[in-house]
Structure 1
């Protein structure tokens, strides 16, 4: 009788263990299924947002192609108001930033002392007004020029930890300034609203729309015979609580895309 009772007890425990394992496996499968659904949804939304923002980008390019210059834009500031519109039920926000209101870092590639001097004054003014410690303007202007010069290789980069080399090329993004010797993240954040990076060494400054600091620094700078017109477009696609960003640098004059990133634009 005792042996039979023991056997029933063992059978009951075994059955309970099987049930517990089954429940655990079911819960695990449900959790993994929910995670897969969320991942699939996120991938779908990202792909959809990319296609929608690419379409919006083409619409903006068409608008700019019909405009002969920044003077014909509907707003009188460097940064456009946030332009909301909807595509296939997806809400989009677009902003256009006129790069003629910022200094093109690539103008320092092979720049003479006069051009380096204007950038140096810009750096010193930003440092003074923001109370952020950064290299002197003259030092930074020379360091940026050397960083982009393919014929120089400052040993300060090879002696860094980890060792690295200078760019030896023009900058694709202004945030590459953080790679230049002496720059810090804090200094970059202070300088970022006043600088940009686009192809070529020209850097025309819009003295009517740009910030007061820019107007004062570049007031005596001779107008450039070459006046390229680049715009930076930020698009934000909203999916409920999630947002997807695209930042595109546009050559507004030729209607071409220079750089496109699936992220928010730099400051």
Structure 2
């Protein structure tokens, strides 16, 4: 009887120890998770502060630049510029958005550059056998998507139902929401289109890629005095992960048009 009681007591003691060990491990794991989470939140806040500071620096530099047509590089995108702020490594690059076709120019009531856009689609999509007539159809769908007076029912028939934008594009990738846009077409034209404020289609004819220059032709050739919009891409390299930042800058007016805490589109 006593042996049996001692055996029961031993088993009970082992169960108590096992429960205590399990609880201790659980508390340790929770504490470690909280510490890791707190570290990630701290890094995120630090990264955002540094990235916003770098954005302001770039904006002030562009605002004070004497002639935006004469930047210290000859291509549409600057070389990557390494920065160190408070001991944190950042990589910055700046893109001249006037090297791309402005999708919002298709919203013009008169003289919308539909033919130029169709030609751009055909040139960019030649390897995918995309024809100019497809570009014309897409241009018409883009105009309809931006028009606040229309609401094509085709968008309501989607799953889930949508509405057309009824506004200018904020990001070029919104083009994927337009009826008739395909993945192949987007892959072809993404490097050559952008969404700048306003309906101008001012192209930097000296730096723009051949596909854009050839599509636009002499439409706005030589009119580079109004270079205005640039896209800033930033990466902050912190110990646990990299943090990305993308901002469209209105350089002469010293303001940010669009800001995203993510990598820039193609």
Question: Same fold judged by TM-score > 0.5?
Answer: yes
- Partner residue in 2 for 1:227: 226
Superposition pairs for residues 62-101 of structure 1, below 5 Å? 62-101=60-99
Deviates further, 107-116 or 61-70? 107-116
Deviates further, 161-170 or 124-133? 124-133
Tell me, what secondary structure is at the counterpart of 1:25? helix
Query: 1:104 deviation in Å?
Result: 1.1
- Partner residue in 2 for 1:192: 190
In the alignment, which of 133, 136, 140 is matched to residue 134 of structure 2? 136
- Partner residue in 2 for 1:118: 116
* Matched-pair contact (CA < 8 Å) for 2:105–2:201: yes
TM, length-normalised to structure 2: 0.93
- Partner residue in 2 for 1:12: 10
Paired residues in the alignment total 265
Deviations 1:138-196 (A, max 9, x none): 00000000000011111211222222110101111111001000113343232211111
Q: 1:135 to 1:84 in 2, by over 3 A?
A: farther
- Partner residue in 2 for 1:168: 166
- Partner residue in 1 for 2:24: 26
* Matched-pair contact (CA < 8 Å) for 1:101–1:211: yes
- Partner residue in 2 for 1:236: 235
Query: 1:69 deviation in Å?
Result: 3.7
Tell me, what secondary structure is at the counterpart of 2:265? coil
Q: 1:225 to 1:154 in 2, by over 3 A?
A: farther
Query: 1:70 deviation in Å?
Result: 3.1
Q: 1:206 to 1:265 in 2, by over 3 A?
A: same
CA distance in 1, matches of 2:227, 2:92: 22
- Partner residue in 2 for 1:153: 151
CA distance in 1, matches of 2:173, 2:112: 24
